[in-house]
Amino acid sequence: QVQLQESGPGLVKPSGTLSLTCTVSGDSISSSNWWNWVRQPPGKGLEWIGEIYHSGSTNYSPSLKSRVTLSVDRSKNQFSLNLSSVTAADTAVYYCARGEVAVGNAFDIWGQGTMVTVSS
């Protein structure tokens, strides 16, 4: 079955760059799906960060657009998130999710999430 797994540092210093990778298994990153990042600050709701297609096309949340870069590595079947100039407000659980075209681009598969804390 399709699985997504986030990986990356759990602690990032303020003003630094948060970098996470999502490894896809059971599906090809080159399929007709969009690959997403969503975050959830402790005790708060879900926030969409952005999405990437295997061609490299991207859409970003307007509130994060100036600091976010998404990329795809088709050889490794992975996609990645870089978030620059982080502050404590970026502390959250970060999820990767598949936007499945067959269900109207709903996020049908989610990773388990990885907690990232921004602190010195």
Give contact residues for other proteins (rule: CB under 8 A): 36, 38, 45-48, 50-51, 59-62, 95, 103-108, 110-113
In the complex with other proteins, the residue whose CB is nearer, 72 or 97, is 97
Nearer to other proteins, 31 or 59 (CB): 59
- Which CB, 16 or 41, lies closer to other proteins? 41
- Min dist CB 44 to other proteins, Å, is 8
CB of 32 to other proteins, least distance (A): 16
Pick between residue 51 and residue 90 the one whose CB is nearest to other proteins: 51
Compute, in degrees rounded to 10, the torsion defined by CA atoms 96, 101, 105, 106. Answer: -70
CB of 87 to other proteins, least distance (A): 19
Residues 6+ apart with CB under 8 A from 66: none
Distances in Å between the Cα of 19 and the Cα atoms of 14, 27, 31, 69, 107 are 13, 23, 24, 10, 22
